[in-house]
Structure 1
Amino acid sequence: MKKIIAACLIWLLNGSVFGQTLSSDATISVITCGPYQGELYSAFGHSAFRVVDPEQNIDAVFNYGVFDFDQPHFYLNFARGYLNYKLAAYDYQHFESSYIYHNRFIHAQVLNLTAEQRQKLFEYLRWNMQPGNENYRYDYFYNNCATKIRDVVVTALGKEVTFDGSYVKTDYTIRDLTDIYLKHQPWGDLGIDICLGLPMDKKASPFEYMFLPDYIESGFDHATILQNGVGVPLVKEKYSVYDARAEEAPTGLPHPLYVFSAFALFCIGITVWDFKRKKISTPLDAVLFTVTGLLGLLLFFLWFFTDHAAAAENFNLLWAMPTNAFAALALMRRLPWLRIYFLCIAILSAITLVVWPILPQQLNCALIPIVVAILVRSFAEYRLWKK
């Protein structure tokens, strides 16, 4: 895949016509592609530019959704929040066929630009594609492959373009919008809800809705551009390149709510058994508190030691306490302070369940059984404590 992109990019850069002024028949379109449930990131859809100039034999896609696994320290940078994406230009037909292959709809919006405006936008894209200019710091919600489409148009054309967000009638948070697109990927949705904190729960403005390609499409439908001092629709023509076939929702693992509920019932059953025999099941607690403790350490790391702004102020730390990992280690030696520690964890878990509906951060409901399991097992540890 990367070799094909590289070859197409070289073809574009070396083609003599690519550096010329666009002809009068040239068009620039915004391309919106539908979601694909095969990957987590593809569930939100995709946006790109298409530049067509039949006189100069140009049909290129400008794609801001490209990243390179071979860049130095890729995984370390990814973990720290230094997500470097870049703009790449390549043959549009290759781009289109790959999305049709995965049965993803493709919509095109031909922009209503004068020759001068079209050239400005084209020259900005060419400049942005050059080595040294092509990289940008990716952000899940504020600087991604969709928002770049809007921002590039605004940067290239300035105050000539106006986006009118009055068409947005809903009052969703960023987390609400994310949940809508991940309804077929409950485990991916759960992972996002655990790792990303309070910034996800701010009410999104119409401008902020546009981190999603569908809202880029709607935003451009309701935008205007100045021509000869008069505001005209930014989209001149809109058409469907490919309509996705109806498909059944993908099947996978059982919903996390079912899995965690079964686990909570198991913990309750073991706890009843423990109270009957007056002996604690230490191995179960060692596993439960090790896992939740390690998860808490991850959330703490994401909040304080990375540039993942959306991972800050994470209320999941109410149940995924980093100290649980150390308590699990101390269980092997039955240190005296553990009894009071588990009492505190039981109280905190009970409070968390009571205030769950009114927390400023919307926690995933599938986690309620996990908190119940923590409450039950920490209370058992407190009551059945023996040195």
Structure 2
Amino acid sequence: MKFGMKPKSLLLILSLLVGKTMFSQVPELSEKSQISLLTCAAGDEVYTAFGHSAFRVQDSVLGIDVVYNYGTFDFKKPNFYLNFAKGRLIYSLSRSTFDDFLFSYELEKRWIKEQILDLSLEQRNQMFQFFENNYLPQNRDYLYDPLLNNCSSITGTILKNQFGDKVVFDGSYLEKQYTFRQLVRQFLKVNSWSMFGIDLAFGSPVDRKATVQEHMFMPYYAMEQIRHTTLDRKPLLKRERTILDYSEHLNQTFFPLTPLFWFILLLAFTGIITYFDYRHQTRSRWLDFSLMLITGLAGTVLFLLWVATDHTSTPRNFNVLWAFPLNAFVAFIFAFQDKLPQWSTKYLWTALGLIGLMLLLWIFKVQIFSPVLIPLLLTLAIRYVYLIRYSKL
């Protein structure tokens, strides 16, 4: 029997061998290639509220059209939520075809703008080599930081790492240099539960002014910054075009569902209960227990975010002055004793003093607090003042 190999089988093996060789090293881009920054519009969900940035590499000669996306995370990774709470969330660089990347934004009707970078062939190959090397399994993961190291801020980091001082970010387009908190508030309404939660969790570090490059943690600012960036003293932006043309998503808020509405309601309710307590010379222990337990537990969480995590935005959070962690312990004492203990007056005066100190820090801009807190602070103050009076009966 003769042993031979069919032509089709031979071609298949040869193609696999060639393919293996090609993918073991990064191919050289042709003169037809281009590298661009994609900026995607903000969406309706909180995690899409600031938009998105990604890099695109195209080469019609090699048949390449891929997107390098630094905004990929996996809920199924071990301890995902625990790592999120600790500030040790791992994001990854993913690579997909441009059509696949486009699909989800078409479904959500979010615009995409493309900024083609004016790079020499050598510079394009340098960046392509970097992306491909960065995409290797051992390199693609990075420690995410929502303000300092995210899918958008990494744009400026990559440009600086690749081209050094040849890249100059001109900040003259900025009306002023904003703080990190101000930048976030430009994309989320202050009177929304999401912004209230963020304001609550953010500490005083986010109230410093961001540098020109640090503004790029917001995709919209990264897009604007590319328009005002030079490489080798020439504009980095070659040309710009719109790939998907949809209107900006406008999030409407229904006031009865906002935190301000509910805190005003709580203030009115507490005022009425306190008035009847005063008339009847009594104390609604359930109200005191609820207020002190909730504020105490909130303060405990904020304190742990301050001292027990790696978050860069949650240390030195003076919200713990009104959300006093000790309240969680005192709540049970106040709940089960009709007559308040002797030390309660000093404790309540201290709690009032801490609220006053918080207001001073706000006035002197050591930390900017959510204005939505004002009815809640009044609620606590009314109850603390009444309890001081009641303790003397």
Deviations 1:287-312 (A, max 9, x none): 11100000000010000010112101
Match of residue 308 from structure 2: 305
Is 1:202–2:205 an aligned residue pair? no
**What is the alpha-carbon distance in structure 2 between the residues aligned to residue 13 and residue 285 of structure 1?**
70
Aligned to 1:26: 33
Tell me the SS of whatever aligns to 2:286: helix
Q: What does residue 57 of structure 1 align with?
A: 63
| Residue pairs, 1:11-22, within 5 angstroms | 16=23, 19-22=26-29
Q: Counterpart in 1 of 2:346?
A: 340
Q: How many correspondences in the alignment?
A: 371
Q: CA deviation at 1:18?
A: 8.3
AA of the residue aligned to 1:289:
M
Q: Match for residue 355 of structure 2?
A: 349
Q: In 2, Cα distance between the equivalents of 1:14 and 1:371?
A: 67
Q: 1:359 deviation in Å?
A: 4.2
Label 1:144 to 1:13 Cα distance change in 2 as closer, same or farther (>3 A). Answer: farther
**Mapping of residues 1-387 of structure 1, within 5 Å:** 16=23, 19-37=26-44, 39-183=45-189, 186-226=192-232, 231-245=233-247, 248-251=250-253, 254-334=257-337, 335-350=341-356, 352-353=358-359, 356-385=362-391
| Alignment check: 8 A CA contact 1:330 1:338 kept | no
1:320 aligned counterpart, secondary structure: coil
Shift of the 18–88 alpha-carbon distance from structure 1 to 2, 3 Å rule, reads farther
Whole-angstrom distance in 1 between the partners of 2:346 and 2:211: 46
Which secondary structure does the structure 1 equivalent of 2:93 belong to? strand
* Offset at residue 341 of structure 1 (A): 1.5
Counterpart amino acid of residue 26 in structure 2? G
Give distance in 1, aligned partners of 2:20 and 2:296.
51
1:22 maps to amino acid: L
CA separation of 1:347 and 1:269: change in aligned 2, threshold 3 A: farther
Does the aligned pair in 2 maintain the 1:184–1:249 contact within 8 Å?
A: no
- Deviation of residue 247 (structure 1)? 5.3
Distance in 1, matches of 2:143 and 2:157, equals 14
Structure 2 unaligned residues grouped into runs of 5+ = 1-18
Letter in 2 for 1:302: L
Q: Scaled by the length of structure 2, what TM-score is found?
A: 0.89
Give TM-score, length-normalised by structure 1. 0.90
Deviation at 1:281, TM superposition (A): 0.5
Mapped to 2, the partners of 1:262 and 1:23 lie a distance apart of: 65
96-105 vs 130-139, which moves further: 96-105
Residues 349 and 372, structure 1, Cα contact 8 Å, conserved in 2: no
In 2: Cα distance, 1:319 partner to 1:246 partner? 38
CA distance in 2, matches of 1:67, 1:43: 17
Partner of 2:4: none
- Give 2:13's aligned residue: none
Distance 1:192 1:31 in 2: 27
**RMSD across aligned positions (CA):** 2.2
Structure-2 separation of matches of 1:67 and 1:364: 30
Please give the alpha-carbon distance, in whole angstroms, between the structure 2 residues aligned to 1:17 and 1:92. 22
Number of the residue aligned with 2:11: none
* Percent sequence identity over aligned pairs: 37
TM-superposition CA deviations, 1:193-215 (whole Å, max 9, x none): 10111011101222221111111
